[in-house]
Every structure is written in C-alpha cells, then in structure tokens.
Amino acid sequence: MTFSTKLMRALLALAILFLASQNHARAQQPAPPAAPPAGAAKSGQAPAAQAQQPPIVSTTGLVHLVVTVMDHHRGFVTDLDKSDFKVIENGVPQDIRFFGRETDLPLRIALLLDTSNSIRPRLEFEKDAAIDFLNKVIRRNKDMAFLMTFDNEPEIIQDFTGDVGLLMGAIREQRAGGGTALNDAICLASERLSHAPPPKAPESDVRRVIVLISDGQDDLSDRALSDAVDASIRSEAAVFAVSTNTDWLAIDNPRKPSKYHVEAGDKVLQQFADQTGGNAFFPYRVDDLAQSFLDIGEELRSQYFIAYAPSSPPAIGQYRKIDVETDRKGLTVRTRKGYYGIAPPSGGAN
C-alpha cells in the first residue's frame, strides 16, 4: 500500500470520527419546544380563555326563608321592602340575595289527619274543614298535596296530586280508631316532602307545608319528638298545626270560652310551629276549625320570600340559628328558627 493511499484512509477515518462526535453532541441536547398552535398567545402571556375564567367558588347554596309579618292586631303586613329586613345567622348579619313579596311559589302540602280514638267526636267536622281548605288553596296545574292519616301508625292514603277531587274522596273515607303515632307521622311526611314533585319550568323551587290536625298527644311512635322536629327542619317544611284538644276549654259560658291550662299536646303543636316558621291554632269550638283553615290559607298568600348565602357556610349536619328582624315598630316576624348544613350542590355556586 502506497503512502498516498494510507494518507487518504487516515483522513477518511478522521472525518468519520468528527461527524460521529457531532451527532452525539446533538443527541445530548434537549429537544426544542413544539411550535405553538395557530392563534396561541405570545411568550409570557396567558391564553385569553384562561385569563377570563372566574375563580372557582365553593358554596353550600342559598338558605331560603318564608317570612310572615303581623301587626299588634294580628293582621298580616304585606308592604315591606327588602331594606326593612335584617337576617342574622348565629349572631352574624347576612346579605339578602333575593327578596319577594307575597311569594307565589308552588305549594307542596302534606295534610296529616289524626284518626285516633281521641278525635272521634270531631272527625266529621275536621274532614269538612280540611276539604274546604284544599278547595280554597290548591291551584290547578301548580300546587299539589298528599293525605296522610295516623293512628297506630302513619299511612299515606293519597300520594301527591293536584286533583282536589281525589283528595276529597280519600278524606271522606277515613274513620277513627287506635292510638296516636304523631312523631312517626311527622318524620314520614317530612321525608316525603323532601322528595316532592318538582314544579314546571321556569319555576325551580317549591314551598313545603305540613298541615297537622291533631291533639298533639303521642303514645305509639318509635321516633322521639326531637327526631320529628329535626325532620321537619331538615325538609324545610313549615308546620301549621290545628289542635283538636278540647280538654282545656271552659264551657261555663260557651260564648266566651277560655283556656285555664295548657296541655302537653298543645305545647308539642306549638313547638313544631315555632321551630319551622309555621303557626298553631287552638279553636275554641268545633265551628272555629273552619276559621283556622281559612287563616292558614290567608297566611300562605301573605308572606315574603328571602334568600341569602351564608357568609361562613356551615359544615354538613351543623345547625345554624336564624333570626329575622324588621325596623318597623310593633311588628312580629315569624320564620323558621334555623337550618342544618348540607352538602354543596353540584355544579358550583348558585
């Protein structure tokens, strides 16, 4: 092999080694970033879509209140404005988000009829008064009610319907007999109201009402009174109780009956009403039952709707006390006393 041939081979080997080293160096360098897609923001700027996204807010939703205001003559006051009310939760003032007068939300009514032996003498008149109430209150294609009776145990006789004729027929067929499972009835009615049929669009909420006709005595329930009160609060149902108790009436002068003591059952009915923002009625005579039902119907059409978002949402299951006040002198404000924290609704804030 000649000297020139050896020199050519040496130069070729050096060239191959040089090219190999360059390729190895390039392989050790990080890959360049991919080209941005068309329309992407320039370097150092956030994409426009991300810049416009609102922050995610966690909320337990709005607290809904139905409020009744009465003057010292027990007349309904219906001309107040949002600025006339103050909402206080656990001692902390809250901002009212929504307000309406004479709220017209669809009604979902649980009519609870005590059919125990203790109310046998008044049962027929009670049925007449209840039927008259439904005829005056239920609005076609908007409101719904169901009938529950309770003696030894509660039973739903007629499920939710807007057909007053079906409710009337079910009420007429009831007979008295047995003990009184009042607490169980309230628990079952509250559970049923919690799953009430939704309203037709565009309305999104309903008003839940329990109309209870009873003497307030309980001798057969498996559930305690505290369970029944909690159940009604959790369902957001206002309890309107009409007492069938006549033991506390003085009958010396039928034209001027008077209460000489309060029975334990009266206190139970009043407790349900006070805790839920409803009302309790203690008719003196059997004829006064009809007026009690008329008063319930009038109150349901003379209320305010208030909604607020708690400034400090409660934990799930935590109880929060509510006070609603007005600056107007001489007025009484009635609403539910509190609520329990629930899981946040899916889909973000209201």
Looking at the structure, do residues 223 and 84 belong to the same domain, yes or no? no
- Residue 1 domain flag: no
Per-residue pLDDT of the chain (350 residues; tens, 9 = 90+): 544 444 445 444 444 444 444 444 444 444 443 433 333 333 333 333 333 333 323 334 899 999 999 999 999 999 999 999 999 999 999 999 999 987 788 999 999 999 999 888 889 888 988 998 999 999 999 999 999 999 999 999 999 999 999 999 999 999 999 999 999 999 999 999 999 999 987 767 899 999 999 999 999 999 999 999 999 999 999 999 999 876 655 555 555 555 556 789 999 999 999 999 999 998 877 778 888 999 999 999 999 999 999 999 999 999 999 999 999 999 999 999 999 998 765 554 44
Number of domains observed in the structure of the chain: 2
- Residue 74 domain flag: yes
Non-local CB neighbours of 310 within 8 Å, separated by 6+ positions: 60, 63, 89, 94, 320
Task: Please name which of 58, 45, 63, 167 lies closest in space to residue 113, comparing C-alpha atoms.
Answer: 167
Q: CATH code at 251?
A: 3.40.50.410
Task: Please name which of 268, 124, 113, 129 lies closest in space to residue 189, comparing C-alpha atoms.
Answer: 113
Looking at the structure, do residues 94 and 117 belong to the same domain, yes or no? no
Query: How many CA atoms lie within 13 Å of 328's alpha carbon, on the beta-carbon side?
Result: 19
Looking at the structure, do residues 113 and 96 belong to the same domain, yes or no? no
* Secondary structure (3-state) at 215: coil
Looking at the structure, do residues 140 and 87 belong to the same domain, yes or no? no
- Residue 55 domain flag: no
- Residue 81 domain flag: yes
Q: How far apart are the C-alpha atoms of 99 and 83, rounded to whole Å?
A: 10
Tokens representing residue 142 in the block: 């908007």
Looking at the structure, do residues 223 and 287 belong to the same domain, yes or no? yes
Looking at the structure, do residues 169 and 281 belong to the same domain, yes or no? yes
- Residue 193 domain flag: yes
Q: How far apart are the C-alpha atoms of 94 and 85, rounded to whole Å?
A: 11
- Residue 21 domain flag: no
Looking at the structure, do residues 161 and 198 belong to the same domain, yes or no? yes
- Residue 290 domain flag: yes
- Residue 20 domain flag: no
Looking at the structure, do residues 90 and 172 belong to the same domain, yes or no? no
Looking at the structure, do residues 118 and 98 belong to the same domain, yes or no? no
Looking at the structure, do residues 334 and 284 belong to the same domain, yes or no? no
Q: Is the dihedral of CA 131, 132, 133, 139 positive or negative?
A: positive
Chain centroid to CA 4: how far? 101
CA end-to-end span of the chain: 92
Residue 326 · residue 62 · CB < 8 Å: no
Where in the sequence is the domain holding 72, given as residue range(s)? 63-102+306-340
Task: Please name which of 301, 269, 237 lies closest in space to residue 108, comparing C-alpha atoms.
Answer: 237
Residue 64 · residue 205 · CB < 8 Å: yes
Looking at the structure, do residues 68 and 119 belong to the same domain, yes or no? no
Looking at the structure, do residues 220 and 117 belong to the same domain, yes or no? yes
Tokens 């320039």, residue?
42
* Secondary structure (3-state) at 167: helix
In a 10 Å sphere around its CB, with 0-12 CB exposed, 13-18 middle and 19+ buried, how is residue 329 labelled? exposed
